[in-house]
Structure 1
Amino acid sequence: MGQIASRLKEPLHTAGSVAEIITGSRKRKRNDTDHVNHEETQTDIHTPKKKRLLTTTQYIYQTLFKDEKNADISVMALGKVWHLHKVYLCQSPYFNSMFNGSWRETFQDFISIEIMDSKITLDSLQAVFGSLYSDEIEIEPSSVIPVLATATLFQLERIIDKCTEVMIETTNAETAVLYYETSCQYGNNLVKQTTFEWLLLNLLSLYNKQIKHLKLISTELLTALVSSPNLYVMQTEFSLYTLLRTWLYTRIFPNFEPDENKPDDLQIPQNFFAKRKDSCPFLLTEDGLTYIEPFNALRLEYLICHHMDMKFVFGDNIIPKKWLFYHVQNHWNTILKIDHSHEPGPQNEDEAVFNKNSMRCGRTLMEPGYQKWRWTGFNFGLDLILISDQRVLSIRRHHRAEHERLLSVQTKRQFMVKVSVSSINSQRQRTFCQQTEIKSLSLEKNEEVQLLTMDPKLVHPLLISVNLLVHHPNKMSEQEKFVESLKDKLNLSIPISEIGGDETDLLFGRDLRHQEQQTE
Structure 2
Amino acid sequence: MERSLESENTRKKLKSTSKYIYQTLFLNGENSDIKICALGEEWNLHKIYLCQSGYFSSMFSGSWKESSMNVIELEIPDQNIDVEALQVAFGSLYRDDVLINPSRVVALLAAACMLQLDGLIQQCGETMKETITAQTVCGYYNSAGTYGLDSVKKKCLEWLLNNLMTHQSVGLFKELSINLMKQLISSSNLFVLQVEMDVYTALKKWMFLQLVPSWNGSFKQVLTEADAWFAERRREFGGDVAFLESAQGSAFVPVFAHLRLQYIISDLASARIVERDALLPSEWLSSVYKQQWFAMLRAEQDNDIGPQEINKEELEGNSMRCGRKLAKDGDYCWRWTGFNFGLDLLVTYTNRYIIFKRNTLNQPCSGSVSLQPRRSIAFRLRLASFDCSGKMICSRTTGYQILTLEKDQEQIVMNLDSRLLTFPLYICCNFLYTSPEKRADSEAQLDHLES
Q: 1:273 maps to what in 2?
A: 230
Q: 1:355 maps to what in 2?
A: 316
Q: 2:298 maps to what in 1?
A: 337
Q: 2:449 maps to what in 1?
A: none
Alignment of 1:80-159 (within 5 A): 80-159=41-120
Large movers: runs of 4+ above 6 Å: 51-54
Q: 1:52 to 1:351 in 2, by over 3 A?
A: closer
- Contact residue 417 and residue 466 of structure 1 kept, 8 A: yes
**CA distance in structure 1 between the partners assigned to 2:198 and 2:294 by the alignment:** 25
Identical-pair percentage: 37
Q: 2:446 maps to what in 1?
A: none
2:165 partner SS: helix
2:413 aligns with one of 451, 460, 466? 451
Deviation per residue, 1:153-179 (Å, 9 max, x gap): 111121112212221221111111211
Shift of 1:265: 4.6
Aligned length: 422
TM-score, normalized by length of structure 1?
Answer: 0.78
Gaps of 5+ in 2: 1-11, 440-451
Alignment of 1:3-22 (within 5 A): none
Q: 1:403 to 1:390 in 2, by over 3 A?
A: closer
- Contact residue 205 and residue 222 of structure 2 kept, 8 A: no
Q: 1:441 maps to what in 2?
A: 403
| Letter in structure 2 aligned against 1:271 | A
1:215 partner SS: helix
| Letter in structure 2 aligned against 1:471 | T
Alignment of 1:18-417 (within 5 A): 55-207=16-168, 210-260=169-219, 263-275=220-232, 276-277=234-235, 278=237, 279-400=240-361, 406-417=368-379
Larger Rg: 1
Q: 1:264 to 1:78 in 2, by over 3 A?
A: closer
**CA distance in structure 2 between the partners assigned to 1:361 and 1:274 by the alignment:** 28
2:427 partner SS: strand
Q: 1:291 to 1:53 in 2, by over 3 A?
A: closer
- Contact residue 344 and residue 365 of structure 2 kept, 8 A: no
**CA distance in structure 1 between the partners assigned to 2:74 and 2:361 by the alignment:** 76
TM-score, normalized by length of structure 2?
Answer: 0.90
Q: 2:384 maps to what in 1?
A: 422
Q: 1:342 to 1:126 in 2, by over 3 A?
A: same
| Letter in structure 1 aligned against 2:405 | L
Shift of 1:475: 8.4
2:35 partner SS: strand
Q: Considering only aligned residues, what root-mean-square deviation do their CA atoms show, in Å?
A: 1.9
- Contact residue 357 and residue 473 of structure 1 kept, 8 A: no
1:294 partner SS: helix
- Contact residue 310 and residue 400 of structure 2 kept, 8 A: no
**CA distance in structure 1 between the partners assigned to 2:124 and 2:143 by the alignment:** 12
**CA distance in structure 2 between the partners assigned to 1:67 and 1:465 by the alignment:** 58
- Contact residue 422 and residue 458 of structure 1 kept, 8 A: no
Q: 1:317 to 1:367 in 2, by over 3 A?
A: same
**CA distance in structure 1 between the partners assigned to 2:266 and 2:14 by the alignment:** 75
Deviation per residue, 1:332-377 (Å, 9 max, x gap): 1111111112112112132122111100000111111110111111
**CA distance in structure 2 between the partners assigned to 1:147 and 1:331 by the alignment:** 53
1:204 partner SS: coil
1:362 partner SS: strand
Shift of 1:281: 0.9
Q: 1:470 maps to what in 2?
A: 433
| Letter in structure 2 aligned against 1:159 | L
Shift of 1:274: 3.1
**CA distance in structure 2 between the partners assigned to 1:405 and 1:344 by the alignment:** 18
- Contact residue 63 and residue 69 of structure 1 kept, 8 A: yes
